[in-house]
Structure 1
Amino acid sequence: MELPTYLPTMTSNRVQLQQVFTNLISNALKYHDRPEQGVVRIGCREDRQQYTFSIADNGPGIDPEYHERIFVIFQTLVERDTLESTGVGLAIVKKIVERQGGTIHVESSEGQGATFIFTWPKERAMHAERRITAAQSAPKTV
């Protein structure tokens, strides 16, 4: 696993963001065709509106024909008997990211690994931070 030198400190829904990362990282490991040579790289860019995270692997890749299909519930590209998979992971990831106001997509081709890129808007995080600050500074009645 390779982590970037910079990862932001942010206020957000920790459980949902953790679920997104957990699903994407576990998929990169689970679907690797050469697990002993597997590499997963996490990246992050930040601009004024959002964070852009990437999870890249050096696995078998995904044919562009299937890039949209993998985000549909109960869809897998391997037989369910081959690996333990319900086919809901990426659908859940997509739903969480979009509910936060972000986007997700995959960049990949067969034999070239896959990179999942998702955005996580700062706006919702800033609103949550303002609510916490306001609650902490509000006068307390006894």
Structure 2
Amino acid sequence: EQYDWLFESLVDFAVENEINLNSPKIITDFELAEINASQYAFLGVTNKTYFFYLEQNAWKRIQCYGLARTDAWFSLKIKYLLALAFLSPQKILSAFNILKPEISEEAKNLVLWLEETYVLVYESLGLGIPRTQNAVEG
């Protein structure tokens, strides 16, 4: 609901100030709610995301769930999960299902969070799309 309000307010502001928001692309975080709200507010827009945000938010969750440690094997398995974002859409589900049993039971909340909250990054890493927002942040 917050994202819906945000994008509706942005559209209202643009209309009131005669600003054209007809861009073919919008850049957002990886959250599905944010992506859905942006696509609803800006019909026909192509959504682009950054892998950096997926890593950053995953690290916050790892800390939140008390999983931050120096276990190299566990760290590698988490990197495998994040790397799913680079697979073609058709391969993600089968690869995820292969990796899921390899993740320790204590990390099931992290796996569930990744499964429910985040989406594919494959298309956002295409040619001509910057991998960070640094280009627009000045």
Q: Same fold (TM over 0.5)?
A: no
TM-score, length basis structure 1: 0.29
TM-score, length basis structure 2: 0.29
Structure with greater strand percent: 1
Structure with greater helix percent: 2
